[in-house]
Chain A
Amino acid sequence: MSSLELLTWARGPALQAALVIFIIGMLIRVLEILLLGRKTDLTRARAGQMGPGLRTIFSRSLPVSGTWKQHLSGYLWHIGFIVVLLFYAPHIQLFKQGFNIAWPALPTSLIDIITIVTMAALVFSLSLRFTDPVRRMLSTVGDYFSWLVTFLPVATGYMAFHNVGPDYTLVLALHIMSVNLLLVVFPFTKLSHAITFLFSRWYNGANAGRKGVRV
């Protein structure tokens, strides 16, 4: 298989299959939660739960006082990852081809800097897993695997952008393959928190809200 054939396959049938697995997988993940249900709370509520639940979905994005340092690398790579995914011109092209929607891109020089920051933050997060006693104890094989499949698309994308490697087409194909891998494993690893955090934050906020505790 030539590099071009691999690229064609990666962004054709392979990407489509990965998207299907991602969507079905995430659906399973959400159903796994919702189908368990919860008992009706018979206590007399002090306040409603909908408002506080929804507010917590947003408010919990802010660190509680004094913990911003622990959050910093997380913020940097999450924001960086999303910005590069959504505002890099070739990515927008893909969205245009796939869904016929487009929006203005950020300058590539800025995307370049953001990519470097994202990779640095990811590497820093990984180093914490090795050095910080709490994170070392909590870390599982799944955590390292999740880190790897998140890091690969960023790293291969950076390589493609800078024409690193002998064959641009091959690097691009590997970039897309790494994205496919991310999509496939997404629902079956902790990466699914990208969707399930909506539920966990809502339940926590709603529970506190009905007690009249503003969290």
Chain B
Amino acid sequence: MSESVDRAVNAMKEQIDAPIASYFSSCVHCGICADACLFYTETGDPQYTPIHKLDLMKRVWEREYTFAGRIKKWLGLSRNITENDLTKWETLVYDSCTLCGRCSLYCPVGNDIVTMVRKMREAMAASGHAPEGLQQASKRAIEIGSPMGVTLKTLEAQIKHAEKEAGMEVPLDKQGVDYLMLLSSAEIAQFNEIIPAVTRIFHEAGVSWTLSSEAFEGTNSGIQIGSSDIAAELIQRIVDGAQKLKVKYVISPECGHAYTALRWEGPNLIGKPYPFEVVHIIELLDQLRTQGKLKLEGKDETRQTFHDPCQMVRRGGVMEQPRNLMNMVATDFVEMTEHSLMGWCCGGGGGVSANERAEPLRRKVFSKKREQLEEIGVERIVTACSNCRNMLEEGLEDNNMDEIEVVGLSEWLAEYLVTSSPRAAGDDS
């Protein structure tokens, strides 16, 4: 066995616990998970069957952790994993899985397949079988502090811009406030309208908040590549930043994997519970709505829909909140046929968008979203994940459907905000 195969096998062994053993024990090879995965439905290629992506891990589990497998191993009948296997499965695990988790809802015996893929990526990353794009992103995240190479200087420039636009101060490094707001790389670099939008919303709702110069980046490429070590370091930076400012809550931005990393993996990665609570920006906005602190005015008659970011909705449990918020102003809000829990991924989540090699496949499988959108004929898609937003914009352009507008939910809501101070209102000119 080569050293990298050894590392892969050891990493798999570390990842296999009781749930994983129960999943592999229960799989009957029925293939129903294939119908849940857009990489299969849009290509018809059986290799994209979700459970097949776990074949190597299944081999390790069988050989090391089952009675029958041990006997087979003892008799010399086990199939060893080779370097070639790892190379082949690299594309299955990274290029054709967005970790969207739809397959985990389809499996009749209840196998949480996406959890296994996430764990399988640990083995692939440990053995050096991760895509170049994700390796570079992780390196930048550790060295520069952001996978897209966004620095504090960039953020400071955006803050200045936002202050001008919102007509009010954007708090930075303010101690003792309730909320620390994180941003995703894409929000700082591309979709920066989010900063004036939340500044205005929080101002009107009386939320005490701040950004941090040490912990502003929510994107976690460690989760996507499958390196708990990298993911833990990025989480620790946020925890340190939050503790320094003594906040009670940390707000996860409109970024799917940032939320998963921070909310559902973080404490396990660093090995201790947080001294603060994590709240998704959409969750917080919905709380403000129920408290009557989010005051919106005007009705929007545009025919529009909501695209469910997988990590926020299906894997994160923030499902009703975006709909509650949209219904505050939208009069013609239509759901895609399969939505919420059963929503289809944009095709670029889970690090697929950062993986150049996967681009042709990713663009191909956008046909699922195209089909869904054609069916309902909308003029606008609202979403709450900057990566989804990017993928949707690109996909619509590819399919000559760019007359459909794509917007982030928070900034879209800010357009309808009832503004009390004349200073805050003067931003639309």
Asked if A43 and B268 make an inter-chain contact with CB atoms under 8 angstroms apart, the answer reads yes
- For window 86-117 of A, CB contacts with B under 8 Å fall at none
What B residues does A37 contact at CB under 8 A? 17-18
Q: Could you jot down 6 A-B contacts, CB within 8 Å?
A: A29-B66, A60-B110, A70-B32, A133-B44, A133-B46, A138-B29
Asked if B263 and A199 make an inter-chain contact with CB atoms under 8 angstroms apart, the answer reads no
Asked if B110 and A56 make an inter-chain contact with CB atoms under 8 angstroms apart, the answer reads yes
**A interface, CB within 8 angstroms of B:** 25, 28-29, 32-39, 41-44, 46, 56-57, 60-61, 63-65, 67, 70-71, 74, 132-140, 143, 188-190, 192-193, 196-197, 199-205, 207, 211-215
What B residues does A35 contact at CB under 8 A? 18
Residue with the highest number of chain A CB atoms closer than 10 Å, among B31, B35, B273, B341: B31
Asked if A36 and B29 make an inter-chain contact with CB atoms under 8 angstroms apart, the answer reads no
Asked if A211 and B26 make an inter-chain contact with CB atoms under 8 angstroms apart, the answer reads no
What B residues does A43 contact at CB under 8 A? 263-268, 273
Instruction: Enumerate the 10 nearest inter-chain pairs by beta-carbon distance, A residue then B residue, closest first.
Output: A201-B110, A212-B317, A199-B22, A42-B267, A203-B19, A134-B31, A196-B25, A200-B26, A138-B29, A204-B110
Inter-chain pairs besides A70-B35, A138-B49, A211-B316, 6 sampled, C-beta below 8 Å = A36-B17, A43-B268, A44-B278, A135-B29, A205-B110, A213-B341
| Candidates A32, A133, A138; contact of B25 at CB < 8 Å | A32
Asked if A67 and B106 make an inter-chain contact with CB atoms under 8 angstroms apart, the answer reads yes
> Does B284 sit within 8 A of A, measured CB to CB?
no
Q: How many residues of B contact A (CB 8 A)?
A: 60
| Candidates B30, B44, B112; contact of A207 at CB < 8 Å | B112
> Does B74 sit within 8 A of A, measured CB to CB?
no
Prevailing SS type, chain A contact patch: helix
What B residues does A200 contact at CB under 8 A? 19, 22-23, 25-26, 109-112
Instruction: State A73–B30 Cα separation when bound (angstroms).
Output: 11
Asked if A64 and B110 make an inter-chain contact with CB atoms under 8 angstroms apart, the answer reads no
The residue in chain A whose Cβ has the minimal distance to the Cβ of B16 is A36
Instruction: State A207–B342 Cα separation when bound (angstroms).
Output: 17
Instruction: State A37–B22 Cα separation when bound (angstroms).
Output: 11
What B residues does A32 contact at CB under 8 A? 21, 25, 65-67
Asked if A193 and B29 make an inter-chain contact with CB atoms under 8 angstroms apart, the answer reads no
Instruction: State A14–B266 Cα separation when bound (angstroms).
Output: 54
Tell me how far the C-beta of A58 lies from the nearest C-beta in chain B, rounded to whole angstroms: 11
Asked if B29 and A42 make an inter-chain contact with CB atoms under 8 angstroms apart, the answer reads no
The residue in chain B whose Cβ has the minimal distance to the Cβ of A43 is B267
Instruction: State A190–B109 Cα separation when bound (angstroms).
Output: 12
Tell me how far the C-beta of B5 lies from the nearest C-beta in chain A, rounded to whole angstroms: 22
Asked if B341 and A190 make an inter-chain contact with CB atoms under 8 angstroms apart, the answer reads no
Instruction: State A57–B26 Cα separation when bound (angstroms).
Output: 13
Asked if B25 and A213 make an inter-chain contact with CB atoms under 8 angstroms apart, the answer reads no
**B interface, CB within 8 angstroms of A:** 16-23, 25-32, 34-36, 40, 44, 46-47, 49, 51-52, 65-68, 104-112, 115, 263-268, 271-274, 277-278, 314-317, 319, 338, 341-342
What B residues does A41 contact at CB under 8 A? 268
The residue in chain A whose Cβ has the minimal distance to the Cβ of B40 is A134
Instruction: State A46–B264 Cα separation when bound (angstroms).
Output: 10
What A residues does B105 contact at CB under 8 A? 64, 215
The residue in chain B whose Cβ has the minimal distance to the Cβ of A47 is B317
Asked if B30 and A135 make an inter-chain contact with CB atoms under 8 angstroms apart, the answer reads yes
Instruction: State A31–B30 Cα separation when bound (angstroms).
Output: 25
Instruction: State A154–B264 Cα separation when bound (angstroms).
Output: 47
Contacts A60-B110, A213-B315; is A33 near B21 (CB within 8 Å)? yes
Tell me how far the C-beta of B412 lies from the nearest C-beta in chain A, rounded to whole angstroms: 24
Instruction: State A132–B105 Cα separation when bound (angstroms).
Output: 22
| Candidates A134, A140, A197; contact of B26 at CB < 8 Å | A197
Asked if A71 and B22 make an inter-chain contact with CB atoms under 8 angstroms apart, the answer reads no
Residue with the highest number of chain A CB atoms closer than 10 Å, among B18, B105, B265, B338: B18
Instruction: State A131–B29 Cα separation when bound (angstroms).
Output: 14
What B residues does A188 contact at CB under 8 A? 67-68
The residue in chain B whose Cβ has the minimal distance to the Cβ of A75 is B108
Instruction: State A199–B36 Cα separation when bound (angstroms).
Output: 22
Instruction: State A136–B278 Cα separation when bound (angstroms).
Output: 45
Instruction: State A41–B263 Cα separation when bound (angstroms).
Output: 12
What A residues does B316 contact at CB under 8 A? 211, 213
Instruction: State A61–B23 Cα separation when bound (angstroms).
Output: 16
Tell me how far the C-beta of B273 lies from the nearest C-beta in chain A, rounded to whole angstroms: 5
| Candidates B47, B272, B315; contact of A137 at CB < 8 Å | B47
Instruction: State A192–B62 Cα separation when bound (angstroms).
Output: 14
What B residues does A61 contact at CB under 8 A? 108
| Candidates A56, A143, A199; contact of B29 at CB < 8 Å | A143
What A residues does B28 contact at CB under 8 A? 143, 190, 193
Tell me how far the C-beta of A132 lies from the nearest C-beta in chain B, rounded to whole angstroms: 7
Asked if B31 and A204 make an inter-chain contact with CB atoms under 8 angstroms apart, the answer reads no
Contacts A34-B18, A132-B31; is A193 near B26 (CB within 8 Å)? yes
Asked if B25 and A33 make an inter-chain contact with CB atoms under 8 angstroms apart, the answer reads yes
The residue in chain B whose Cβ has the minimal distance to the Cβ of A205 is B110
The residue in chain B whose Cβ has the minimal distance to the Cβ of A203 is B19
What B residues does A71 contact at CB under 8 A? 32, 108
Tell me how far the C-beta of A36 lies from the nearest C-beta in chain B, rounded to whole angstroms: 5
Residue with the highest number of chain A CB atoms closer than 10 Å, among B46, B263, B338: B46
What A residues does B25 contact at CB under 8 A? 29, 32-33, 192-193, 196, 199-200
